Amino acid sequence: MKIAQIAPIIERVPPRKYGGTERVISALTEELVRRGHEVTLFASGDTITGAELSAICPKSLREAGVTDTRERNGWTLRHIGAAYERAPEFDLIHDHCGVFSLPTAQISPTPVIQTMHGAFFDHNIDVFRQLRNTHLVTISHDHAKDTLGMNHVATIHNGLPMEHYPYSLVHGEYLLYVGRITPQKGTHLAVQLAHKLKLPLILAAKCDPEQQQYFDQEVAPYLSDRIQWVGEVNEAERNQLMMNAMCFLHPGTWREPFGLTLIEAMACGCPVVALRNGSIPELIEHGKTGYVAENPDEMASYIPQTTSLNRLYCRQRALRHFSAKKMVDEYERLYTLIALKRAQQRESVPLHPFSYATLPLSDSYRYN
């Protein structure tokens, strides 16, 4: 198939450091290329890919230092317009740019799949309900609960090529927090837990300027020789930290659609302790690959228990349920179904009624 992948241009694909969505897009694109599809990736010019790369900006907006929201939005709209201008060249467009793409996708002559990588909020949920030309994919079953009235066709869990990640059957004596410093991610809870348990904690996370006050008030007072903030790290550094950590802390306070760092930690053999919000129970096998807690006090009680969990099982389950191959298998089947539907509509072939429900479902895969 001739497939267009449209990535956001805030970060490079794959990202140098932070950027879960871009890592997923990279995994999807490279596996599709490996399988023989003709893929064009619309992304920033510093992207590394085996697909044909089409770029309107030489660097990702973050690398280029574009921080003004209006300027970023302008670049994003030009990027989306350039991609959809080439729509007739493709059998299918897979868009990852969220609500920004919906008006253009609404009039696309080529079928559009859109994976919604972010959460649905009041400011965008009605737009998805009104502009329904895209075939909407969610990344967890909890995420899909918000799609009433939308053209929701599938839930497909994220996957990554994690078989090359390092792992260890033994662990160090520190806790680990990775990602962004923000109240929604519960950074303040992570430092409080480490302080309460008198355990070392490494915060390998970026702090955006808008979170500086939160960091100064809620995180910095806990920093010490035992609780350290090392800033944003690259993938290799992060994997080494995950491989050797006693456990990975994910005290998020919001309904996160998918916690990508959780599956990466488990692939490194590191169990996860997280609050029960959003997709978390879909990712952690409670008592086997970590623990799902109802509140921070329960997290504190579970953390010492992670030392008895089987780290090899953590890795094996992560690779079995959240591999890039499994994710691409499911997207590839969806692509085929949508292409079949389009062919039936074009030719007006009187076949049996088309249904997304005609395919057997895996535990992470559902058609409506």
Instruction: Please write the tens of the pLDDT for every residue from 332-350.
Output: 999 999 988 887 777 764 5
Residue 357: pLDDT over 50: no
Domain enclosing residue 244, as ranges: 163-321
Quick one: pLDDT at residue 362?
A: 42
Domain identity same for 228 and 346: no
Residues 85 and 9 in one domain: yes
| pLDDT tens-digit map of 264-321 | 999 999 999 999 999 999 999 999 999 999 999 999 999 999 999 999 999 999 999 9
Tally the domains of the chain.
Answer: 2
Looking at the structure, do residues 110 and 204 belong to the same domain, yes or no?
Answer: no
Helix, strand, coil percent content, the chain, rounded in steps of 5: 45, 15, 40
Between residues 199 and 365, which one has the greater pLDDT? 199
Mean of the pLDDT values across residues 2-20? 92
Residues 170 and 291 in one domain: yes
- At residue 352, the pLDDT reads 44
From the number of C-beta atoms within 10 Å of its C-beta (0-12, 13-18, 19+), residue 225 rates as exposed
For the cut 80, the answer to whether the pLDDT of residue 55 exceeds it is: yes
Q: State whether 31 and 142 are in the same domain.
A: yes
Same domain, 315 and 330: no
The answer to whether residue 359 scores a pLDDT higher than 70 is no
Q: Can you say how many angstroms the Cα of residue 14 is from the centroid of all Cα atoms in its chain?
A: 12
Mean pLDDT, the chain, whole residue set: 92
Tell me: do 125 and 35 sit in the same domain: yes
Indicate whether 132 and 262 sit together in one domain: no
Residues 316 and 215 in one domain: yes
Could you tell me if 168 and 133 lie in one domain? Answer: no
Q: Are residues 167 and 316 in the same domain?
A: yes
**CATH number for the domain including 282?**
3.40.50.2000
pLDDT in tens, 221-237: 999 999 999 999 998 99
Same domain, 66 and 121: yes
Nearest CA among 268, 252, 286, 315 for reference residue 119? 252
pLDDT of residue 18: 77
- For 32-51, write each residue's pLDDT tens digit: 999 999 999 999 999 999 99
